[in-house]
Structure 1
Amino acid sequence: MKRTKLFLSLLCVALVATGCKGSVESPAVEDNSTKEDSQTTEVATQENSNFRPEIYSGKEYIFEEAYEDGVYSDAYVTGHYDMYKLSPETREAYPALNTAIEDSMNARKKKYDETHAEYLDSSKQLRESGEVSTFVLESDLFLRRADEKVISFVDQDTEYAAGAHGVTRYESYNFDVQSGKEILLADIVTDKEAFQSKLAQALTEKYGEDTFNDLEGNLEDLSLDNYEWAFDYNGITFYSNEFASYSAGVITANLPYDSAFLTQDFAINSNEGYISQIPLYYPDTTHIDIVDSLDEGISISPNYDPNNLDLFWIQSLNISKDGQTFTTDDLYVWDVEAYIIHMPDGTESLMLMTTGDNDYSCSYVYSLDGQIKLLSNDNFSHGMVCEGDDYGQIVPIDPEKVAFVSRFDLLATFGGTRNYSFESNGTFTSVDKYYKTSRTHQQDLVSKMELTVPVVDEAGEETGEEVTLPSGTHYSIIRTNGEDEVDCRIEDGRIIRFHLENPSGEGYIYDIEINGINAEDIFETLWYAG
């Protein structure tokens, strides 16, 4: 795969918390239950809660390299699949939901591991017959809505198994947050005939009557159990590639929550904002079609570098909505994620998260109300968390609490995550004083001398106590204010603070001092990335 991320061990460990995609690991799951089993499993009882769920996302990477006669050739199989996991607070608030999510992820892992094995075997057989073809298995999860009522996301499954074309399919996951039960379409449709008639009308108006062959008849024959659909911020979205030709791709339609044939039990909370990820897919092979957005009324299409078309680097993006078109400035990135930020007052913005050379990340916010225009640009990447040896990205859900990572070179190179609130002018305002780090052993500082430092509490307030710690003490960086304070946990569990000084005023990392002594003279090793 052209963009396989390989890092020197020092750089990988030092940057594992900075949002680099190649370093994100899938959150662990425990057993191999099937999705079918999870749908019929009796869920645990739980008290109703108003806590908005938090979700972590990780990736399982697939890369089977081919090595023949001492030479590496095109890989047998490449790709990845996403995995979701609830935050510890969400798992505690919604134990039944946690069971349902874990079961669905176990079934997902089983499914894609089996497909991976099948593709590897098939690719090797083709290679033996003289045909060199790299199979592709890409599966991305897109969160559409998460609140106190529902968690809803879709699996965009793109596969290429030799031949002229690949295929993109969608599978939906819809859970009742309070009970953990899967929500079926039959649970929300009160009049099947009226629903199917309105869906046929919406599809015909969007794609044209000639796109379909006997659409109404096909819908009438389809059981409600056979639809793929998701809760969105603006209604119910349906996905299908069964009613039209291959060239039409995946077709979608959105029906608003206030439709007469839908129960109002799962309508959105009008006083809450929502962040919904837009399904995109920009492949690095001509065998697979681009997915440039399945959201109603918006398209985000790539312009590739004309001088290096075979590298599939995205030079810029065309954003279109309601007849308005906007082309971004030069980006030169290899990955783009897109999110609709929907505010309670009805205003909408587009947030793009890009990853480019050296996994450098940026965020961009564009207005979607009227004229499309750039509102803000920051060097943000997704907020990161660490549980044991597992790292994950914090999925954007709530405009009032969006987690971003920033990189710091303060006694080590590390990423710090803090929460931000989205403002009406398209900017983000921090709601946390400190950036929390995702711990790695390279953030362990070992002193070469005795140090006297202040003690702080879990909230980051200095207690007024000072402690003198001997040479050889281990300090694990846990947070920073991003400027001149670095908090570390020591081996007995206490938290101490280093007040950093930079007497040169130039901001160079090698000029940092603590208590008037250069940091390089205080610690055995300072782990900085180049």
Structure 2
Amino acid sequence: MKKRRLISVLLCISLFFAGGCGQKTAEKQPAIQETAEQTAKETHKAERGNKQETVQENTPADEQEEAAVETGAATVLPMLVDYDYEAEYDQDSYETLISIDIPKILVIEEGHDALCASLEEWNQKTYKSQMGAYKSVISDNRELWDEGVGMTGLSIEGNITFTRADSLVLSYYMDTNEWLGGAHPYSFKETCNYDVKTGKDLKLSDVVSDYDTFYKEVCAKLEERKDEYGFYEDYPDTVKNVFYGDKEEYGEPLWTLSGDGITVYFNTYVLAPYASGEQAVSLSFTEYPELIRKQYQKNSDQWAIPIAEDEICLVDLDGDGAEEEISYSADRDEYDYADSIVIHCDDNSYDTEMFMDSDYYGGCGYSAYGYLIRTQNGKTWLYLETMGEGDGKYLQIFELMKNDLRLVTADYLGIDPNQPFEPESFVLSKRFDILGTYEAYKKFHVEEDGIPKTEDLLWTIVSTYTDWKVELTSSIDMELSVREANTKRGSGQKETLPAGTHFVLLKTDGEAYAEAMLDDGQICEFELEHPSEEEWEGRINGVSISDCFEYVPYAG
């Protein structure tokens, strides 16, 4: 049996929002909506390099690319991970005998053909490899399962973590977690690094300016922990072989690039016994600026670090050199629901219930996840995403001060913790019900007032780049504006498209406009009329949306 599941590395805002809980009235629209139209925890302490010069928002694309190389001000590269899930079941009990999750990595933005080709090659290679392992386990265990004595609940799962995804570099690792019987599960890591423009693999020697010195620094850091983790006596020979040995036998070093530096990985068993686990060594831009080529460094005094519920982060809020302990917690009931969040700063605690009368107050709900953000003016912000009924996500923004807390604004937006978040450029996504129900994203940056701002005019629909496209088929003839791809909105001509025309939704303004692709690659523009007080959906050319199409995929 086979099914598909989709995990967005933007933010997977559920398609099923339940009414009522934490929602704002039409009279109280959060301010972000208006503005929209206009291993890092350790290394953040060494605040990044010199201040970067501002890149003008109206700089042409080629000049922006040059500026990005010079200043590290690369823009976010929106990514998504689609998973193939397959399982083998017992025919009588329907118990899962073995299951597998195979990741497929997608760029959800136009203009990256070379990178997409490289990722497709990686996707196919990964699928072939993991499916081969899956089928081999089935073959080895089939006889035992048929006799009712084989181990069940076996699994192979690939998980993707992006460490950097911007207009210069895509860097990520895949953890393959296997439970195939035996004394314990097994996990191993693979890493990938690409030049986003060319789609070519980046080798460690491409990124570091002095390979030999880099190797020596990694060795020095490993030497400091050899006794604590019980490294094998001959581990130095292993490390040398990883860096300099036969590539057919040892492969390339496992490494990733982030916004803070380079991390080198050694899988379980490579340097020490299983109990010692995987080893990772990080060299930051601030500690080793001469070892890493300048074009790959991010030079900014802004930073963002993830912070989970009940986790403590140390941040100097007032610049006095002393770090405050920052955390947040919630008093959850038996269903994991909480009415509010308590934000802690050293000995001070602030229950967000104090903002209940604010237009933006969103309570807490069933979960919370956040980012601590430092902007160039030295202020610190907490971006806190909460999940309410129906998995609806709500983003609340607080200003943190040593002896005070301020709720800045909030909106139905969210951040995916699996994708790197940089204050200079990141993605937020939102759920819409315009010609269907879907999630769409824009690129943002954090302003000095803590509020995310975007220059994107339209929201890009995430599922456009997957097998789960939002598709419509007209049931009547429709007069619509049609233009060539890669041309400006409003530059087309009115055409009468016959009943039976197929559309794939691409973008929306989030209010009364959407773009769709026709089967011939042209772009069709939908101008929607707002519904009257008696109607729940709008109209196109005076005709109710539901009467224009054979089916409109609204959720719930």
TM-score (norm 2): 0.61
Please give the per-residue CA displacement for 1:452-485, whole angstroms capped at 9, x wherever unaligned. 5666786664459655666666665443322233
Mapping 1:114-513, distance limit 5 Å:
114-127=132-145, 128=147, 130-147=149-166, 150-175=169-194, 180-184=200-204, 188-191=210-213, 194-196=216-218, 198-200=220-222, 204=225, 211-213=228-230, 218-219=235-236, 221-223=238-240, 224-225=242-243, 227-240=253-266, 241-242=268-269, 243=271, 246-259=274-287, 263-265=291-293, 267-271=296-300, 332=366, 360-361=392-393, 378-380=411-413, 399-437=423-461, 438-439=463-464, 443-448=471-476, 461-462=489-490, 477-488=505-516, 493=522, 495-504=524-533, 509-510=536-537, 512-513=538-539
AA in 2 matched with 1:414: Y
Separation in 2 of the partners of 1:300 and 1:139? 31
Contact 1:144/1:277 (<8 A) preserved: no
List gaps (5 residues or longer) in structure 2.
Answer: 16-63, 69-73, 244-249, 316-322, 353-362
Corresponding residue of 2:33: none
Corresponding residue of 1:62: 85
Give the secondary structure class of the aligned counterpart of 1:406: strand
Given candidates 77, 80, 99, the residue that maps to 1:78 is 99
* 1:90–1:339 Cα change, 3 Å: farther
AA in 1 matched with 2:220: K
Separation in 1 of the partners of 2:186 and 2:409? 36
Higher relative CO (Cα under 8 Å, sequence separation at least 6) belongs to 2
AA in 2 matched with 1:254: S
Contact 2:82/2:106 (<8 A) preserved: no
- Higher fraction of strand: 1
Separation in 2 of the partners of 1:299 and 1:170? 32
| TM-superposed deviation, 1:268 | 0.8
Please give the per-residue CA displacement for 1:30-85, whole angstroms capped at 9, x wherever unaligned. xxxxxxxxxxxxxxxxxx9647583633333333131323x312x12224232334
Which 10-residue stretch deviates more, 453-462 or 117-126?
A: 453-462
Contact 1:64/1:120 (<8 A) preserved: no
Corresponding residue of 2:61: none
Separation in 1 of the partners of 2:183 and 2:420? 36
* 1:251–1:357 Cα change, 3 Å: farther
Contact 2:327/2:345 (<8 A) preserved: no
Corresponding residue of 1:107: 125
Contact 1:18/1:416 (<8 A) preserved: no
Separation in 1 of the partners of 2:551 and 2:342? 47
Contact 1:275/1:396 (<8 A) preserved: no
List gaps (5 residues or longer) in structure 1.
Answer: 23-47, 281-291, 384-392
Identical columns (%): 20
Contact 1:477/1:486 (<8 A) preserved: yes
Contact 1:434/1:480 (<8 A) preserved: yes
Give the secondary structure class of the aligned counterpart of 2:222: helix
* 1:331–1:138 Cα change, 3 Å: farther
Separation in 2 of the partners of 1:119 and 1:327? 52
Separation in 2 of the partners of 1:302 and 1:246? 34
Please give the per-residue CA displacement for 1:342-369, whole angstroms capped at 9, x wherever unaligned. 8678888776778898665555778899
* 1:461–1:332 Cα change, 3 Å: same
* 1:355–1:249 Cα change, 3 Å: farther
AA in 2 matched with 1:446: S
* 1:246–1:175 Cα change, 3 Å: same
Separation in 1 of the partners of 2:398 and 2:141? 43
| TM-superposed deviation, 1:153 | 1.7
Separation in 2 of the partners of 1:229 and 1:314? 39
AA in 1 matched with 2:104: M
Contact 1:140/1:156 (<8 A) preserved: yes
| TM-superposed deviation, 1:126 | 4.8
AA in 2 matched with 1:83: K
| TM-superposed deviation, 1:270 | 1.0
AA in 2 matched with 1:484: A
Contact 2:517/2:523 (<8 A) preserved: yes
* 1:521–1:68 Cα change, 3 Å: closer
AA in 1 matched with 2:529: L
Contact 1:301/1:318 (<8 A) preserved: yes
Which 10-residue stretch deviates more, 513-522 or 138-147?
A: 513-522
Separation in 1 of the partners of 2:230 and 2:11? 50
| TM-superposed deviation, 1:119 | 3.1
AA in 1 matched with 2:228: T
AA in 2 matched with 1:213: G
Corresponding residue of 1:27: none
Separation in 2 of the partners of 1:338 and 1:78? 32
Give the secondary structure class of the aligned counterpart of 1:82: strand
* 1:274–1:68 Cα change, 3 Å: same
Contact 1:123/1:133 (<8 A) preserved: no
Separation in 2 of the partners of 1:58 and 1:85? 6
Give the number of equivalent residue pairs. 456
Please give the per-residue CA displacement for 1:476-529, whole angstroms capped at 9, x wherever unaligned. 54433222334455677463433312221x7x524x344555444555544322
Contact 2:101/2:158 (<8 A) preserved: yes
Give the secondary structure class of the aligned counterpart of 2:125: helix
| TM-superposed deviation, 1:199 | 0.7
Corresponding residue of 2:25: none
* 1:185–1:211 Cα change, 3 Å: farther
AA in 1 matched with 2:531: N
